[in-house]
Amino acid sequence: MKILIVEDEQDLRETIRTSLLKEKFVVETAADYFSALDKINDYDYDCILLDIMLPGGSGLDLLRELKHLRRTDSVLIISAKDSLDDKVDGLELGADDYLTKPFSVDELLARLRVTQRRLNLQASGEVSSSVFVNGPLKIDFAAGCVWLNDEELHLTPIEYKLLCVLAHNVGKVLTHTAITQKVWGSSQENDIASLRVYMASLRKKLESGAHSLHLVQTHVGVGYRMLRVEADDSPEE
């Protein structure tokens, strides 16, 4: 996997670079807005680690440029603790995930492995398949049916829509606004309030039974993500 690190803090940038090289990733770096802009205009990357606050410009503007170019590079935002609005804005602009500074190398590698698996799934066509399987969860999009641990799960139409949106974006953090737009076609304050109610009901059904798993992860103040379940039946954080 080819990765671009866009980070102005030299020590952090080099720590990330060294760690990723040890894991056999192909790594390039950029320390400011304009050098990052040159790289994304000249090269394709599987994943971009993107700081928001950069010399010369904003990481959010780089996201807008990627969107303008219709690029499909996965983007992982790395940002300061007090920048929740920036995280939400970044996810709305197409970023896949975020990490809050300070973070451990192990946590970063875990997020990158999730990204790599999602890219592999997209390449194999599994995500767009008519049948979605994630651990004990199975969704037949054509039939509109859901099974959990081989037992049919009865969902309301809204719960089913929510589950499908999460499944089509497995491993990716979706903001409240993105989800409500897909489910209700709007994103009013009452839509987001309704989302929390329906999500609580959906999670209760998904987490019922003796072999239940916590498939849906809450990102407080941001949104939700469906976790990809590994072979050992442990959701990947």
Residue predicted with more confidence, 101 or 125: 101
Handedness of CA 18, 19, 23, 25 (dihedral sign): negative
Predicted TM-score of the model (pTM): 0.68
pLDDT at 138: 92
pLDDT of 124 over the 70 cut: no
Token pair 């390449």 is found at 123
Q: Spell out the domains of the chain, with CATH numbers in brackets.
A: 2-123 (3.40.50.2300), 125-226 (1.10.10.10)
- Mean pLDDT (the chain, rounded): 86
pLDDT, average across residues 68-81:
84
The tens digit of pLDDT for each residue in 165-223 reads 999 999 899 999 999 988 887 767 677 888 998 999 999 888 876 556 789 999 988 99
The tens digit of pLDDT for each residue in 89-101 reads 888 888 888 888 8
Distance (Å, whole) CA 189 – CA 167 = 24
pLDDT at 237: 55
Dmax over CA atoms of the chain, in Å, equals 55
pLDDT at 146: 93
Contact 191, 197 (CB under 8 A): no
pLDDT at 228: 87
Residue percentage of the chain with pLDDT more than 70: 87
Contacts of 174 (CB under 8 A, 6+ apart): 91, 165, 166, 223, 224, 225
pLDDT of 38 over the 90 cut: yes
The tens digit of pLDDT for each residue in 132-181 reads 999 889 999 888 899 998 889 989 888 999 999 999 999 899 999 999 98
